Chains A and B, each alone.
Chain A
């Protein structure tokens, strides 16, 4: 089983602050990386993907990837109460598990007004 580690939190930030979510993974052959958002009682929703080292920005969200350190992060700028959810890091496996998505436990984020 491929390991994907996340700090389960909870992470609590005030409205307008930057929320930083971190994820490490064990499979060096992993090709691409995803962040899903899951509201309580709902299914996961894809919000970001990244496959090249560096940063990728989409609106208030920035994904950062460092393959050498096997580390991926998600920054949420100008956090809003509506961002309160569990954020799942997912890694697409390489080698014999090519194409399979492996998930971390998720980080619970609360943005308070």
Chain B
């Protein structure tokens, strides 16, 4: 396996269900991210993890709960979602040196995404 792997690719869930999205990166990166992509809207940064520690939570509702057990794995636990949460959820990773030592040419590597439909 190479790159960033996300499972499942597609998920349909009811509003009362509990499900989890999984992301695994094989790039040796130390930062991982969850993004939400809805139609006609920019990619929305949801959560950031650096060295397994959550460093950013962009006012995401509590029905989304992230977990990062190590620097290679990232989960997004979902419960009691709403139909408006239907979207493409993308995981990404990068090499983050921290502080002011940001490598200018390091973008993010994205996984293939999970297409989530809440019914």
Contact = CB atoms under 8 A, between A and B. Distances in A.
Given A88-B43, A100-B45, A103-B43, A49 B105 contact: yes
15 contacts: A8-B40, A31-B102, A34-B107, A43-B110, A43-B112, A44-B43, A49-B104, A49-B107, A51-B105, A90-B108, A99-B94, A99-B96, A100-B56, A102-B42, A104-B42
Interface in A13-66: 31-32, 34, 36, 42-46, 49, 51
Contacts of B41: 105
Interface residues of B, number: 23
Could you say which of A4, A98, A100 has the most chain B C-beta atoms within 10 Å of its C-beta?
A: A100
Interface of B: 31, 40-43, 45, 48, 56, 90, 94, 96, 99-100, 102, 104-105, 107-113
Contact of B109 (A31, A46, A90): A46
Interface of A: 4, 8, 31-32, 34, 36, 42-46, 49, 51, 88, 90, 92, 98-106
Nearest to A35: B107
A8 B56 CA distance: 28
A104 B42 CA distance: 5
A4 B42 contact: yes
A100 B42 CA distance: 14
A105 B40 contact: yes
